[in-house]
Amino acid sequence: MSSLAHFINGASVGGGRTFENRNPATNAVVSTVAEADASVVDQAVQAARKALKGPWGKMTDAERAAIMRKVAEGITRRFDEFVKAEILDTGKPIRDVSHLDIPRGAANFTAFADQMLAHPTEAFRSPTPDGKGALNYSIRVPRGVIAVVCPWNLPLLLMTWKVAPAMASGNTVVVKPSEETPTTATLLGQVMNEAGVPPGVYNVVHGFGPDSAGAHLVNHPGVDGITFTGETRTGTAIMKSAAEGVRPVSLELGGKNASIVFADCDLDVAIEASTRSTFLNCGQVCLGTERIYVQRPIFDQFVNRLKAAAEIQRHGDPFEKTTTLGPLISQEHRRKVLSYYERARSSGATLITGGGVPDMPGAFAEGAWVQPTIWTGLPESHPVLREEIFGPCCHVAPFDTEEEAIALANDTPYGLAGSVFTRDLSRAHRVAAQIEVGILWLNSWFLRDLRTAFGGAKQSGIGREGGVHGLEFYSELRNVCVKL
Ligand code: NAD
């Protein structure tokens, strides 16, 4: 068991209260973690403010980009350490961590280094009464100190997805990782030092949300902008904190994503994508599908095939390459997911598969495991269809017409992502335009290009990141008007 400190001004800072970080696959303690109080958070914010005026603030975009590429190389060089840390914190299978979490975490630094070098700005020539005219042009300047508050479901990937564009735009950051997954953010501090990132540019404070590091950070007046990924309820609290000082927020929040499967689809494609979107990361992906609407002629066939796909998922040691399904993140989250399993049961849902807890051997008996679960037969008003469960489960319901499917998919306060499966090109584009989400996949799921806009509609978020869209949040656009 190790102890984990904060990372402030390029150095480890420990001391004070600590909390336990547990491996959800076994419930064993992985490390004890320092919990930041208001004075530790203040130290981190002050270090970040000072670093804005240091070498980081004087570098050209290209110099900063070169350092960011070294950060990506550093993650890749220490790949095995990052993989192990992420598995111990999350319990997710090695095949996902080594193909998704860590490589994409590194890729965020190269992608955003490139994109920030390539962004355009605008220029306008304006007439003036003296006939000589004026030239307006814009420059982008860093926003300042960015607070990055992160969830636990894709710890390194979602944290670097914010830190990389923030740093590439010339800002400094204070990261508050989830209390469930503190390790890779800390390890990244060492990589930042090795890559030559000046002290104070990247800082990490550990702790919880309310009355702890998270709240201290978002309430700190030295923070110029807050980027957050997590639950809609937390996003609401953070937005209130940001109102003090009129600071901008970028919020990537919860979802209750729907998938529409038309009878003319390629069923193999729809089953493959639906299996991933329901069970990947034990259902703990914000973009995951918890409501599937299937056109009536193929409803039974679809349900049978998804059932078969669920039943070949393999729980097991996360370090084994054959394991496809890890545990949930914590015992607390398992209690929440199992409460929905119970509500579905007591409301008379038809249980297609799962619905309980698997028998796990040896040390894994104490882990936060649940069975992949599929239901049919619940009314649209049921909490299983209204609320984000964030587990390896979905409800499948039949529909008859295109209009009905669109109305069902949109009948939610959330608007993060969705998918549509059909071979009819006209229908595909017609339906895609009517689903109220930030990200819509046709005949696929979670196919991401970092140059595209990412974010949620309705209660799933505010703002878009990805590509040049994040510039709106990570920089200020300053207009310079020159009288000629
Ligand atoms: P969460 O909201 O419980 O916690 C997220 C982070 O916020 C943690 O670091 C937590 O300590 C901190 N926090 C909590 N209360 C706070 C407060 N009052 N002030 C400041 N910080 C506070 O979310 P979670 O359980 O870690 O993550 C799961 C949720 O994240 C799901 O709802 C999921 O849909 C969402 N999510 C969304 C996206 C997206 O891109 N839209 C991506 C991943 C996860």
Nearest CA among 186, 236, 176, 183 for reference residue 206: 176
- Asked whether the predicted pLDDT for residue 119 surpasses 90, the reply is no
Helix spans in 78-101 (H): 79-90, 94-96
Residue nearest to atom 39 of ligand 1 (CA): 252
- Asked whether the predicted pLDDT for residue 120 surpasses 90, the reply is no
- Asked whether the predicted pLDDT for residue 1 surpasses 80, the reply is no
pLDDT tens string 217-257: 999 999 999 999 999 999 999 999 999 999 999 999 999 99
For ligand 1, say whether the CB of 238 is within 6 Å of any of its atoms: yes
Helix spans in 78-181 (H): 79-90, 94-96, 102-118, 155-168
- Asked whether the predicted pLDDT for residue 118 surpasses 90, the reply is no
pLDDT tens string 287-339: 999 999 999 999 999 999 999 999 999 999 999 999 999 999 999 999 999 99
Q: Which letter, b or e, does each residue of 332-353 get, where b requires 16 or more Cβ atoms within 10 Å of its Cβ? A: ebbeebbebbebbeeeebeebb
Confidence of residue 114 (pLDDT cuts 50, 70, 90): very high
Which sequence positions are flagged as catalytic? 252
Residue partners of 464: CB distance under 8 A and separation at least 6: 438, 453, 454, 455, 470, 472
- Dihedral-angle region of residue 230 (phi above 0 means left; psi in -120 to 50 means alpha; beta otherwise): left
| Side-chain-facing half-sphere of 463: CA atoms under 13 Å | 24
Note whether 20 and 14 are within 8 A (CB): no
CA-to-CA separations, 97 to 82, 160, 161, 175, 178, in angstroms, rounded: 9, 15, 16, 21, 17
For ligand 1, say whether the CB of 172 is within 6 Å of any of its atoms: no
The pTM score is 0.97
DSSP conformational letter for 100: I
- 320 alpha carbon, distance to own chain's centre: 25
- Asked whether the predicted pLDDT for residue 467 surpasses 70, the reply is yes
pLDDT of residue 407: 98
Strands of 461-462's sheet, edge to edge?
Answer: 11-13, 6-8, 202-204, 172-176, 145-149, 225-229, 249-252, 461-462
Q: Does the CA dihedral 443-445-451-454 come out positive or negative?
A: positive
Note whether 150 and 176 are within 8 A (CB): yes
Beta strands at 475-483 and 134-142: parallel, antiparallel or unpaired? antiparallel
Question: How would you write 192-240 as a 3-class SS string?
Answer: HHHHCCCCCCEEECCCCCCCCHHHHHHHCCCCCEEEEECCHHHHHHHHH
CA pair distance 125, 253, nearest whole angstrom: 41
**Mean pLDDT over residues 278-287, rounded?**
98
Confidence of residue 206 (pLDDT cuts 50, 70, 90): very high
CA pair distance 359, 322, nearest whole angstrom: 18
Max CA distance (Å), the chain = 85
For ligand 1, say whether the CB of 161 is within 6 Å of any of its atoms: no
- Asked whether the predicted pLDDT for residue 269 surpasses 90, the reply is yes
**Bridge partners, 399 (sequence order):** 295
Q: Which of 100, 149, 159, 280 to mutate to test the pocket of ligand 1 (most atoms within 8 A of CB)?
A: 149
- Asked whether the predicted pLDDT for residue 185 surpasses 80, the reply is yes
∠242-204-215 over CA atoms, to 5°? 30
For ligand 1, say whether the CB of 48 is within 6 Å of any of its atoms: no
Burial, 66: exposed, middle or buried (Cβ in 10 Å; 0-12, 13-18, 19+)? middle
Q: Whole-number mean pLDDT of the chain?
A: 97
- Asked whether the predicted pLDDT for residue 58 surpasses 70, the reply is yes
Query: Above pLDDT 70, what percent of the chain?
Result: 100
- Asked whether the predicted pLDDT for residue 442 surpasses 70, the reply is yes
Which domains are present in the chain? Answer: 2-253+460-483 (3.40.605.10), 257-449 (3.40.309.10)
CA pair distance 464, 162, nearest whole angstrom: 11
- Asked whether the predicted pLDDT for residue 108 surpasses 70, the reply is yes
Residue 66, both tokens? 């070169």
Q: How close is the Cα of 230 to the center of ligand 1, in Å?
A: 2
Q: Which of 174, 234, 332, 452 to mutate to test the pocket of ligand 1 (most atoms within 8 A of CB)?
A: 234
Residue nearest to atom 42 of ligand 1 (CA): 286
- Asked whether the predicted pLDDT for residue 110 surpasses 90, the reply is yes
- Asked whether the predicted pLDDT for residue 116 surpasses 90, the reply is no
